[in-house]
């Protein structure tokens, strides 16, 4: 495959970071840690509380990162420190992930604290990782490179998850699961090195002389100005609004799928296996979405993916056996990476030059605030009704509203 022959060393280094942090996305966010939390850390809680608490903690983590990442994004643009912030948040994520190996039976509160810290590190790092893309390649290559990063990430995250699944099956008790969390920390660290050493820091944006002052205050002023000005970028603003809705559904499915399956009585090995299949299905389909976007346009490619997501959310109502979950996981893999990759590239193509980290901070705050609602609604509905089925089906509204608003974006 020509994709595997990336000749540009800097582009490859950028893509490899997606391989590293995807270990956290697959093992910690999606597959092993949610089930470990329900079956081990949450021992002693009422049956409907683990899923509810997991949803609330996910919302808290996204809310925390949503507030400060745009400000730090503005500071990174002015200081030329995108890579420094990338390293900082990666370190936080790695340390919290390693600490998960110490979580034992009944340690549900510590387990949630480490999940919150790891999610903040993961989410914050993505802002500055994404912000390096517009200065790395020309505008006509952004969709392709973004899709390559997602595809490599799914492949790498899937490979690590496969190793972790073997450890869980072969090692006694909870040892395999605990070692899998350590493996994520090491994996993330290893694949973070190329981007830190090989990718150049984009030039900083100097501050005007008449607005010199403390950098943090300057960042707040610049952020407030951007909030006022962003409405003049009409297509970008409308896209962010659409993204706010549909990314809520995507993120909630990623975070709640395993704990939803566990609540239905599906075993950890079946859940992890199905979510592993998602990674390997997502690899070719992420590339396929990049090719499709080149033919039909980025907006239309996203709309196709969102329509498929609506079908998935309603199909989740009928999941009752392990093979049902496998089919649903494969269906998610067909659209998950493609929609995310094309969305990132679509947004990057509309960013004003020199304000990449600041605008990707807005992109991130949009995704984080949107991600707060879905997990919270999932947790609330599950706690009140005692069932996760309706909570999953309700997510269809996020994709419906996303489609309606995205159709108003004029840029093709």
What is the rounded end-to-end Cα distance, in angstroms, of the chain?
A: 28
| Better-predicted residue by pLDDT, 378 or 45 | 45
| Torsion-angle region of 297 (φ positive above 0: left; ψ -120 to 50: alpha; else: beta) | left
Contact 257, 142 (CB under 8 A): no
| Better-predicted residue by pLDDT, 360 or 318 | 318
Burial 280-317 (b: 16+ CB within 10 A, else e): bbbbbbbbbbbebbeeeebbbbbbbbbebbbebbeebe
pLDDT of residue 163: 94
- Lowest average pLDDT, out of 139-143, 209-213, 330-334, goes to 209-213
| Better-predicted residue by pLDDT, 4 or 18 | 18
What number is the average pLDDT over the span 50-76? 79
> What is the overall mean pLDDT for the chain?
83
In the structure encoding, which two tokens stand for residue 209, read together? 């002389």
Domain segments of the chain as ranges: 9-198+216-406
In the structure encoding, which two tokens stand for residue 360, read together? 């990707």
CA 324/CA 341 separation, integer angstroms? 27
CA 221/CA 150 separation, integer angstroms? 34
| Better-predicted residue by pLDDT, 230 or 207 | 230
The enclosing H or E element of 277 equals: helix 268-296
Closest by Cα among 332, 225, 313, 230 to 274: 332
Alpha-carbon 99 to chain mean position: 21
pLDDT of residue 367: 65
Q: Looking only at Cα atoms, what is the longest distance across the chain?
A: 65
Question: How many CB atoms sit inside 10 A of residue 50's CB?
Answer: 25
- In CATH, what number does 9-198+216-406 get? 1.20.1250.20
DSSP state of 409: -
CA 253/CA 336 separation, integer angstroms? 10
DSSP assignment of 366-389 equals HHHHHHHHHHHHHHHHHHHHS-SH
Contact 216, 75 (CB under 8 A): yes
CA 404/CA 29 separation, integer angstroms? 29
In the structure encoding, which two tokens stand for residue 120, read together? 């903040």
DSSP state of 105: T
pLDDT of residue 223: 62
CA 291/CA 295 separation, integer angstroms? 7
> Residue 327 — pLDDT band, cuts 50, 70, 90?
very high
What number is the average pLDDT over the span 69-79? 72
CA 233/CA 1 separation, integer angstroms? 38
Burial environment of residue 186 by CB neighbours within 10 A (0 to 12, 13 to 18, 19 or more): middle
pLDDT of residue 356: 67
In this predicted structure, the answer to whether residue 372 has a pLDDT above a threshold of 50 is yes
DSSP assignment of 29-54 equals IIIHHHHHIIIIITTTS-TTHHHHHH
CA 63/CA 58 separation, integer angstroms? 9
Q: What is the pLDDT of residues 300-319, one digit of tens each?
A: 999 999 999 999 988 888 88
pTM for the model: 0.73
- Lowest average pLDDT, out of 44-58, 309-323, 371-385, goes to 371-385
What number is the average pLDDT over the span 351-378? 69
What number is the average pLDDT over the span 229-236? 75
Name the packing angle between helices 356-385 and 234-263 (round to 10°). 40
CA 182/CA 157 separation, integer angstroms? 14
CA 143/CA 45 separation, integer angstroms? 45
In this predicted structure, the answer to whether residue 43 has a pLDDT above a threshold of 80 is yes
pLDDT of residue 178: 96
- Lowest average pLDDT, out of 99-113, 173-187, 326-340, 357-371, goes to 357-371
At 71 the three-state DSSP class reads: helix
DSSP assignment of 176-200 equals HHHHHHHHHHHHHHHHHHHHHHHSP
Question: How many CB atoms sit inside 10 A of residue 205's CB?
Answer: 18
What number is the average pLDDT over the span 214-218? 62
Q: What is the pLDDT of residues 153-174, one digit of tens each?
A: 888 988 999 999 999 999 998 9
Contact 339, 216 (CB under 8 A): no
> Residue 27 — pLDDT band, cuts 50, 70, 90?
very high
In this predicted structure, the answer to whether residue 75 has a pLDDT above a threshold of 60 is yes
| Better-predicted residue by pLDDT, 1 or 356 | 356
């Amino acid at each position: 495959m020509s994709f595997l022959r990336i000749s540009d060393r800097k582009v490859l280094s950028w893509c490899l970071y997606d391989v590293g942090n995807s270990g956290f996305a697959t093992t910690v966010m999606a597959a092993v840690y949610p089930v470990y939390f329900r079956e081990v850390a949450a021992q002693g809680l009422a049956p409907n509380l683990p899923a509810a608490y997991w949803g609330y903690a996910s919302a808290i983590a996204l809310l925390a990162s949503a507030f400060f990442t745009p400000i730090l994004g503005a500071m990174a643009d002015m200081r030329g420190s995108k890579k420094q912030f990338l390293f900082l948040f990666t370190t936080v994520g790695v340390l919290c992930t390693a600490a998960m190996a110490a979580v034992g039976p009944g340690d549900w509160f510590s387990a949630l604290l480490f999940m919150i810290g790891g999610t903040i590190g993961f989410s914050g790092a993505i802002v500055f990782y994404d912000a390096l893309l517009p200065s790395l390649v020309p505008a006509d290559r952004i969709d392709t490179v973004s899709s390559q990063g997602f595809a490599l990430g799914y492949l790498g995250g899937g490979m690590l998850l496969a190793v972790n699944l073997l450890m869980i099956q072969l090692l006694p008790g909870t040892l395999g699961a605990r070692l899998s969390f350590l493996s994520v920390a090491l994996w993330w660290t290893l694949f973070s090195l190329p981007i830190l050493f090989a990718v150049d820091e984009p030039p900083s944006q100097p501050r005007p002389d008449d607005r010199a002052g403390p950098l943090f205050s300057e960042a707040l002023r610049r952020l407030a100005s951007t909030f006022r000005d962003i409405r003049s970028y009409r297509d970008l603003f409308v896209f962010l609004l659409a993204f706010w809705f549909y990314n809520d559904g995507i993120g909630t499915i990623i975070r709640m799928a395993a704990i939803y399956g566990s609540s239905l009585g599906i075993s950890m090995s079946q859940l992890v296996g199905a979510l592993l299949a998602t990674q390997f299905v997502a690899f070719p389909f992420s590339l396929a979405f990049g090719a499709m976007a080149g033919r039909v346009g980025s907006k239309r490619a996203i709309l196709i993916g969102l329509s498929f997501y609506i079908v998935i959310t309603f199909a989740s109502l009928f999941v009752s056996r392990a093979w049902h979950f496998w089919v649903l996981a494969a269906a998610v893999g067909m659209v998950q990476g493609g929609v995310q990759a094309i969305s990132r590239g679509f947004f990057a193509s509309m960013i004003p030059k020199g304000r990449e980290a600041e605008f990707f901070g807005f992109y991130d705050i949009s995704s984080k605030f949107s991600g707060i609602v879905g997990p919270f609604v999932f947790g609330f509905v599950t706690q009140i009704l005692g069932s996760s089925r309706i909570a999953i089906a309700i997510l269809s509204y996020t994709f419906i509203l996303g489609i309606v608003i995205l159709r108003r974006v004029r840029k093709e």
